[in-house]
Structure 1
Amino acid sequence: MTTRITFPFPTDSASFEAEQEERQIALEYLADAWNAADTDGIDTEALAHAALFAAIATLVRDYGEEAVAQMIGKVPDRISNGEYSLDRVLQ
């Protein structure tokens, strides 16, 4: 028997909207830090690797290795589906 570990996603619309707003603010903070590092000459590939490491390490600390491994296992399909393509055109 396998147990399904889930991440805490909001279940009501008010919580969902509040979480979306907080994530948008967090993304803006990261964009500012990214742009500052880029301006200072830090290689963007090095930035990406550092950001991924920090994000995954934080998730593992908070949710455990198995839950994060399951979540990360879904990333290739999401990439192939264009979820991480910033320049894609939605129709």
Structure 2
Amino acid sequence: MDTRWLQDRLESLPPELEAEETEALRYIAEAWDEASGDGIDPRVLANAALFAAFSQLVETYGESAVISMAEGLKARVERGEFTLKRRLQ
């Protein structure tokens, strides 16, 4: 998977996104590119990334806080916050 979309997004991040978060996204983009280059299916990679992320969030904040955060994901997806290539209708 080509992660140029992520590099483009990094260049247009809002100022409130801290430098450390930007650097973290760069690391993730590099790891994604490497795994894709090694033949890892993008769906498998995405699911593994979500598992790792949610496991860390639960360890850090606890299950209740992560459940609240996850419940808010539906609205964010519906608003297109994670849609990289929008189709005009």
TM-score w.r.t. length of structure 2? 0.76
Structure 1's unaligned 5+ residue stretches are 1-15
Counterpart CA distance in 2 for 1:72 and 1:42 is 26
Q: Give matches, 1:15-54, under 5 Å.
A: 17=16, 20-54=18-52
Counterparts of 1:24 and 1:87, CA distance in 2: 21
SS in 1 for 2:83: coil
Give the root-mean-square deviation of aligned CA atoms.
1.6
C-alpha distance in 2 between matches for 1:31 and 1:87: 17
Per the alignment, residue 56 of structure 1 pairs with 54
What's the % identity of the aligned pairs? 47
Runs of 4+ displaced beyond 3 Å: none
Q: Give the equivalent residue in structure 2 for 1:10.
A: none
| TM-score when normalising by structure 1 | 0.74
Does 1:83 find its partner at 2:75?
Answer: no
Question: What is the distance in 2 between the residues matched to 1:20 and 1:45?
Answer: 28
Report the Cα distance in structure 2 between the residues aligned to 1:60 and 1:29, rounded to whole angstroms: 21
**In structure 2, how many angstroms separate the alpha carbons of the residues matched to 1:44 and 1:33?**
12
Structure 2 unpaired stretches of 5+: 1-14
